[in-house]
Amino acid sequence: MPLVKDFFIGLSKNQLLNKAAKTYGLKLGAQNVVAGTTIAETIESIKKLNAHGISCTVDNLGEFVFEKEEAIKAKEQILQMIEAIHTEEVDAHISLKPTQLGLDIDYDFCLENLTEIVKKANEYDIFINLDMEDHLHLQPSFDLLDELSKTYDNVGTVIQAYFYRAEDDIEKYKNFRLRIVKGAYKETEEHAYQTKEEIDANFIRLIEWHLQHGKFTSIATHDHHVINHVKRFAKEHNIPNEQYEFQMLYGFRKELQLQLAQEGYNFTTYVPFGNDWYGYFMRRLAERPQNLNLVVKQTFTKKNNVLIGLTAGAFLLGRLTKKK
């Protein structure tokens, strides 16, 4: 399993494949894992989910942002999406990555971009979730959250269960709306648990703790075993449905998403949009390789098998490089 995770993490960072995916996205079946390449397409996808009682959190996809122009472009795209959510009156909020808005360029520059976004969203009563990334960006991202929350209360973040520090972080930010995930980046044993068993156990501990002590808990998982555990735990501890929600990725386990919404649970679909989807998708496979089975039939047909060739080619290239 670690080798499989390393493989997909490596692919997520391959800029050549990322560029190819941008060019041939629809031919590769990208429409099965992203809600649209434009804001208008994405809004229509959101409306379809809303019609089934499903809320959405919208992610403007983007990788390798090291130029201010790119970060500003991403900011403007997110601001336009906020306007569209307000104008179209859809049930949705925003998820964003600080690195897309300039964290790797300059902290203050990133804070300025984030502040503009959070301020605009606050005017429309739209929630902003700061997605967390690898350990190098972890503390700076929490610092941004601390700064933003001094002025605005429509902001929250993500706790990644594989980090040793997650227990301390979830207690510190218990009064925030938090999404709890396992974690999708490659981390060393210096910073994070390495085995599936350790990560899964901490994931459950964090969920249970925040359900009992936190403000609002978003449980991000496709694992029906975890979902059933949470259902039982909430019932046993008299935790009302209003205190939590389940989250899954767009295009994954659609039937289960609908089922949970129909059963009366709060449900939010993580809705990515844009052309820069490749790195995002590879990290989802790294996080849980079983995710590949959930979309392979609908995504990688005989007519759109280019991505299989790309990933297989990258794997072989990596093997050859190592031999040299």
Beta-carbon contacts of residue 13 (< 8 Å; ≥ 6 apart): 279
State the Cα–Cα distance between residues 55 and 93, nearest whole angstrom.
Answer: 8
Catalytic residue among 177, 179, 283, 288: 179
Among 77, 134, 129, 59, which Cα is nearest to 103's? 134
Q: Which long-range contacts (CB under 8 A, 24 or more apart) does 249-253 make?
A: 249/33, 249/222, 249/284, 249/291, 250/33, 250/34, 250/35, 250/45, 251/32, 251/33, 251/34, 251/295, 251/298, 251/299, 252/222, 252/284, 252/291, 252/294, 252/295, 253/222, 253/294
How far is residue 26 CA from its own chain's centroid?
A: 21
Whether 131 is catalytic is yes
Catalytic residue among 59, 131, 169, 200: 131
Beta-carbon contacts of residue 50 (< 8 Å; ≥ 6 apart): 56, 90, 91, 92
Query: 80, 118 in Cβ contact below 8 A?
Result: no
The residues that are catalytic are 131, 179
